[in-house]
Amino acid sequence: MPSQISAAKPVIKCASVYKVFGENAKKLLSQSNGYVDAKTFKDAGCVVGVNNASFEVFEGEILVVMGLSGSGKSTLLRCISRLTDTTAGDIFIDGQDLLAMTPKQLIELRRNKMGMVFQSFGLLPHKTVLENIAFPLQVKGKSTDESMTRALEMVELVGLDGRENYFPRQLSGGQQQRVGIARSLAVEPDIWFLDEPFSALDPLIRKEMQDEFLRLQGVLNKTILFVTHDFNEALRLADRIAIMKDGVIEQLDTPANIVLCPATEYVRKFTEEVPREKVLKIESVMEPAVDASLLGPLQVSKDAIIFTVAEAVLTEPKHVAVVDGLGHIVGSVHASKIIHMLFGNANTTDDKL
Amino acid sequence: MAFVNKHFKTLQILVLLVFFFTLYLLVTPDETNVLWRFPALFAGFPGAINGFAEHLMYDWFPVEVYDSDLEEYETSALIRELTRGFSGGVLFCIQFVREILLGGVKTIVAFTSWDFVGDNKWAVWPALPWTVVLGGAILLGYALSGKMLALLAGIATSYIAIFGQWEPAMETLSFVLIAAPVSCLLGLFFGAVAYKSKTAETIIMPLLNVAQTMPHFSYLIPVMVFFGVGDHAGAIATIIFATPPMIRLTLLGLKRVSPEVVEAGAMSGCSNSQMMLKVLIPTARRDILIGTNQVIMQCLAMAVIASFIGAKGLGFNLLLALNQLRIGQALELGICIVLIAVVLDKLSLAWANKQTDYFADSSYFQRHKYGIIFLIFMVTCVILTFVGKIIFGGGINYFYLIPHNQGITTEPFWQAGVDWMVENWYHGLQTFNNWLIIDVLMPMKAAYLGMPVSATFVLVMGIGYMIGGWRSALIVGGFLLFIAFTEWWDRALITAYMTSFAVIVSAVIGVIVGSLCAQNSFASKVILIVCDTLQTFPSFIYLIPVIMLFGVTDTSVLIAVVVYATIPATRYTVEGLRSVPATLQDAGSMSGVNKLQRWVNIEMPLAFPHIMLGINQTVVFALFMVIIGAMIGTDDLGQYILKALSDKNGIGNGLMLGLCVAFIGLAVDHLIRTWADQKKIALGMT
């Protein structure tokens, strides 16, 4: 996993970030000594958007922030892109203090390092597909020729060939979001923000766009902060998931860990309906390696999603060897374990897995 | 108690009416009775304003200026020099455009001297032959939009030339071509400032409210005092009048830009100016374009009114024709103004919608196609002009410039029509006229004038209290108090009577016509186009046909007002009814409503707040038109404003009268808007 490869270098680092809306937000916050209770703030006429968020995002990692509407996930994203001002706390981008930047530095940062995709696309209605995609480049002062050439590359990348001269209103939602994606990638940013990019799309298109997103990330390997309210989407895309409720990050962990050990009751409710075999990897049901004589001929990768190998494992009477990326046996798994995982009472047997 | 709670509103209204009529009947008409008329406490204000303006113009902040004619320094006031410089600049721009179109020497004089022009006979700027302008208009229309617009532009230009209105039309055009862009830029600028700064917005908005309800004539007087008389003064008055709607619509458009688009701009790394010019303004284009259209319409509406302070052109001639009761000529001139308005409107729209095409691997000729065609055309037409000179000999060269009133005219036809109508319909029209004046208007006027000031306050403030609590009561009371303290309360009552009569008739007609048309999507579309077209006509035009029918009477004014004010009522009714959600219509159908039940129980309640906003517009339109009606002869505030216009010390009176009219409009506007907003919130339609 990318996150483990380059774990040493956080691209985004948030330390005790607070965002409180309201007139006396700053004053109230300084009186509260770091402990923010949403209710007392509400009585004072303030709304807590983000409450003491601290985390890091590493190079090449997809961090998905998941929460229901009003949980503060979009606000958190906007604090990190500095579209809203943070009330308190520190945010570092590549070690630079984001909140201390002058407007000029901020513009430079956005022109070169950041790209963002929006829920309702945020396309400029008066510009064609090509002009929209070229917009960040033109704003930067690139020549028309150069920016158009680059924009055409992006059109190809997101598969909109032949629609360069369409206007946003002439495109379907999925196509519009492809334009949004192409635009956000046009300046080759290191950090990619996506704010519920697929929420406004139909389920089938959403699935297609998620695949497209994973394909692009496979090629581009950006550092990604992805906001969604769809838990399944989070599970599909994330390297790590941060689950937010009322401005607080309830749990931040890998999808498997969230499903297996939800930290709070709130998180557990999300995991209830999740088909585990489609989320968990063989690794999570793996047992220590058994004697070679007990192993069958079948070998599965420890990173394989259980669902994809379940049939093979279930038809193998013996233990199945689990191998890592280099082919070394790191453990074993038996059909009984899979059956238990699939049909055991998920709600009460978490600890037995 | 339960009864009181249940019928609270009705009881409120009853109590209010009882109070009103008690005062109405008990207060004796006596000038010393405060309950009857308030003393004119503000009577000294106009004089003070006059004194202030004079001080500003002649005494305040003296500066030394070099007079190049007398070749010596003299003392002058700063403001005077500033306005003089500004006037000179505007005048030069207008003349420059005018001389490109019509020829002349003034531009050359501006760079040399009259002596130079006198000595050198060759130093005359030739006019563009009208055929060149025609070709240019067609080409522009085609390049911007296509065949239809080219055809429209062609017909309009030919009409103007052939009917011998070329010179005044080009004079008007030159003045619009300067005033409209300046207004648009100013409007954009102030709109953007108001968008950026909350403080600026809170300062600008109330000013806009007053500015947009002040009658046109009121603008003329201060402009005349500070900038003198002439084309430039007309242009400046027009700019002042046309800018407020542009500011308002720019601000509205900018505020409506979706936050995500703004964020997308920010994340693309836009600087402040890039954000405004490349993201916000283009995205808000729809509303800003409506603003541009309004500016163009206002400019042409002012073409007539500005002629009061010396703007030359179609407006001036129209005014003359109306004064001489030459209906046919007035009609032809009116059509010219309307045609210019429509063509400019469409051209500006098409221009704003035009897109640039990248990656068009076109040749030099293709890229400069229109320029080259125009050049070829121009050369051809110039040759044609010389040919014309030979053909027509010493007479008028019809290929060059058709002089004023030397074209075809349909005037005899219209005159014959008017004569015929007078002959045949005179009796019927006169009977109607007499009936209206004697049985409706006179009693209504008497009733308004017989209203004690205390009763008026009770009624208006009571309505204010019922709609928006004490706050509204105090606001409308304040507006009224201002008028009551001036010496024109009776005049204001007459204005109020004419306006309310017109509004009632317009509202009834508008709601009925609108409701009928809204039953059918085709009829809705047609009526909206009709409203659009009628709104493009400058308000003045409406006076022409009614004078034709009713001559110079109060009836004419009122009918023109009614026709003009019915447009917004109709439009808002159609829009309101058509925007009732389809699910509610379906729900109604499934409950088995018939057409009438649907209209009464579903459509009207939901559309009513929107219709009320239309009525609000109707009030403003009617008020404007009533004031313009002063031209035909009324005895209300408008007539006094018109008088102030010809008074040397008119600025004080003019401004105070203008404010009186504005405050009537603002009081009504406040009441209706507050009510409609509350209703919309209650219906969940915000």
Residue A252 to residues A171, A226, A305, B137, B246, Cα–Cα distance (Å): 37, 14, 21, 67, 51
Give the integer Cα–Cα distance in Å for B577 and A261: 57
Chain B residues lying within 8 Å of A118, measured CB to CB? 260, 263-264
Pairing of strands A319-323, A114-117: unpaired
Give the integer Cα–Cα distance in Å for A49 and A75: 6
Q: What is the pLDDT of residue B204?
A: 92
Give the integer Cα–Cα distance in Å for A36 and A248: 10
- The answer as to whether B124 is a domain residue is no
Residue B423 sits in the same domain as residue B300: no
Residue A318 sits in the same domain as residue A193: no
Comparing CB atoms, the residue among A122, A136, A139 nearest residue B261 is: A122
Residue B65 sits in the same domain as residue B38: no
- pLDDT tens string A168-213: 888 998 899 999 999 998 888 999 999 999 988 888 888 888 998 9
- The answer as to whether B471 is a domain residue is yes
Query: CATH number of the domain that A293 lies in?
Result: 3.90.1280.20
Q: Is B74 helix (H, G, I), strand (E, B) or coil?
A: strand
Cα Rg of chain B, angstroms: 28
Q: What is the pLDDT of residue B410?
A: 77
ipTM of the complex model: 0.80
Burial of residue B70 (CB within 10 Å: 0-12, 13-18, 19+) is: exposed
Residue A264 sits in the same domain as residue A196: yes
For residues B328 and B413, the answer to whether their CB atoms sit within 8 Å is yes
Residue B268 sits in the same domain as residue B299: yes
Other beta carbons within 10 Å of B203: 12
- B358, A144: Cβ pair inside 8 Å? yes
Pairing of strands A240-245, A223-228: unpaired
Give the integer Cα–Cα distance in Å for A289 and A309: 18
Residue B314 sits in the same domain as residue B233: yes
- pLDDT tens string B525-544: 899 888 877 877 777 778 87
Burial of residue B666 (CB within 10 Å: 0-12, 13-18, 19+) is: buried
For residues A3 and A58, the answer to whether their CB atoms sit within 8 Å is yes
Q: Could you tell me what percent of chain A has a pLDDT over 90?
A: 25
Give the residue-averaged pLDDT of B19-33: 82
Give the integer Cα–Cα distance in Å for B31 and B41: 14
pLDDT at B195 over 90: yes
Give the integer Cα–Cα distance in Å for B409 and B160: 11
Give the residue-averaged pLDDT of B390-400: 70
CA atoms within 13 A on the CB side of B282: 19
Token digits of residue B459: 């009624």
Give the pLDDT band of residue B186 (cuts 50, 70, 90). Answer: very high
Q: Which residue has the tokens 């303290």?
A: B485
Say how many CB pairs under 8 Å bridge A and B.
Answer: 73
Smallest Cα distance from B276 to chain A, Å: 12
- B264, A120: Cβ pair inside 8 Å? no
- A130, B358: Cβ pair inside 8 Å? yes
Residue A342 sits in the same domain as residue A218: no
Residue B530 to residues B148, B245, B474, Cα–Cα distance (Å): 18, 22, 40
For residues A38 and A48, the answer to whether their CB atoms sit within 8 Å is yes
pLDDT at B512 over 90: yes
Comparing CB atoms, the residue among B258, B268, B357 nearest residue A135 is: B268
Q: What is the pLDDT of residue A12?
A: 92
Q: From B280, which residue of chain A is nearest by alpha-carbon distance?
A: A124
For residues A112 and A101, the answer to whether their CB atoms sit within 8 Å is no
Residue to test with chain A: of B262, B263, B267, most A Cβ within 10 A: B267
| Dihedrals phi, psi of A254, to nearest 5 degrees | -70, 160
Q: Tell me the average pLDDT of chain B.
A: 84
Residue A264 sits in the same domain as residue A283: no
Q: How many domains does chain A have?
A: 2
Q: Which of A241, A274, A307 is the last residue of a domain?
A: A274
- B267, A128: Cβ pair inside 8 Å? no
Chain B residues lying within 8 Å of A116, measured CB to CB? 263-264, 267
Residue B558 sits in the same domain as residue B643: yes
CA atoms within 13 A on the CB side of B480: 25
- B443-477 CB burial, b ≥16 within 10 A, e <16: eebeebeebbbbbbbbbbbbbbbbbbeeebbebbb
Chain B residues lying within 8 Å of A153, measured CB to CB? none
Q: Tell me the residue type at B617.
A: Q
Residue to test with chain A: of B263, B358, B359, B361, most A Cβ within 10 A: B358
Query: CATH number of the domain that A69 lies in?
Result: 3.40.50.300
pLDDT at B375 over 90: no
Sign of CA dihedral A102, A106, A109, A111: negative
| First CA to last CA distance, chain B | 34
Smallest Cα distance from A7 to chain B, Å: 27
Q: How many domains does chain B have?
A: 3
Residue A343 sits in the same domain as residue A289: yes
Q: From B285, which residue of chain A is nearest by alpha-carbon distance?
A: A126
Give the integer Cα–Cα distance in Å for B93 and B236: 12
Give the pLDDT band of residue A344 (cuts 50, 70, 90). Answer: low
For residues A50 and A17, the answer to whether their CB atoms sit within 8 Å is yes
For residues A237 and A211, the answer to whether their CB atoms sit within 8 Å is no
Residue B97 sits in the same domain as residue B173: no
Smallest Cα distance from B269 to chain A, Å: 5
What H or E segment, with its residue span, contains residue B469?
helix B453-485
Q: Which domain holds residue A293?
A: 278-352
Q: Which of B414, B441, B466 is the last residue of a domain?
A: B414
Token digits of residue B179: 């005033």
Q: Which residue in A72, A24, A74, A27 sits closest to A52, CA to CA?
A: A72
Residue B409 sits in the same domain as residue B423: no
Residues of A at the B interface (Cβ-Cβ below 8 Å)? 78, 81, 83, 107-112, 114-116, 118-128, 130-131, 135-136, 139-140, 144, 148, 164-165, 180, 183-184, 187, 193
Chain B residues lying within 8 Å of A119, measured CB to CB? 260
- The answer as to whether B264 is a domain residue is yes
Q: What is the pLDDT of residue B417?
A: 82
Residue A105 sits in the same domain as residue A222: yes
- B263, A131: Cβ pair inside 8 Å? no
Residue B403 sits in the same domain as residue B434: no
- A184, B267: Cβ pair inside 8 Å? yes
Q: Which of B119, B151, B166 is the last residue of a domain?
A: B119
- The answer as to whether B349 is a domain residue is yes
Q: What is the pLDDT of residue B504?
A: 94
Q: What pTM did the predictor assign?
A: 0.80
- The answer as to whether B2 is a domain residue is no
Distance of CA B492 to the CA centre of its chain: 21
Query: CATH number of the domain that B677 lies in?
Result: 1.10.3720.10
Q: Which residue in B90, B70, B69, B87 sits closest to B79, CA to CA?
A: B87
Q: From A84, which residue of chain B is nearest by alpha-carbon distance?
A: B263
Comparing CB atoms, the residue among A123, A139, A165 nearest residue B269 is: A139
- pLDDT tens string B629-642: 887 777 888 888 88
Q: Which residue has the tokens 């029509």?
A: B417
Q: What is the pLDDT of residue A349?
A: 45
Burial of residue A125 (CB within 10 Å: 0-12, 13-18, 19+) is: middle
Chain A residues lying within 8 Å of B282, measured CB to CB? 124, 126-127
- B283, A124: Cβ pair inside 8 Å? yes
Chain A residues lying within 8 Å of B281, measured CB to CB? none
Smallest Cα distance from A58 to chain B, Å: 21
- The answer as to whether B6 is a domain residue is no
Chain B residues lying within 8 Å of A125, measured CB to CB? 283, 285
B576: left (phi over 0), alpha (psi -120 to 50) or beta: alpha
- The answer as to whether B115 is a domain residue is yes
- B263, A78: Cβ pair inside 8 Å? yes
- The answer as to whether A141 is a domain residue is no
**A203-217, B110-124, B532-546, B645-659 — most confident range:** A203-217
Residue B395 sits in the same domain as residue B461: no
Q: Which domain holds residue B375?
A: 130-414
Residue B406 sits in the same domain as residue B498: no
Residue B78 sits in the same domain as residue B147: no
Residue B497 sits in the same domain as residue B350: no
Q: What is the pLDDT of residue B361?
A: 55
Output A7 or B528, whichever has higher pLDDT.
B528
Residue A214 sits in the same domain as residue A317: no
- The answer as to whether A203 is a domain residue is yes
Q: Which residue in B505, B494, B509, B396 sits closest to B448, CA to CA?
A: B494
- pLDDT tens string A267-295: 998 888 888 787 788 887 888 887 877 78
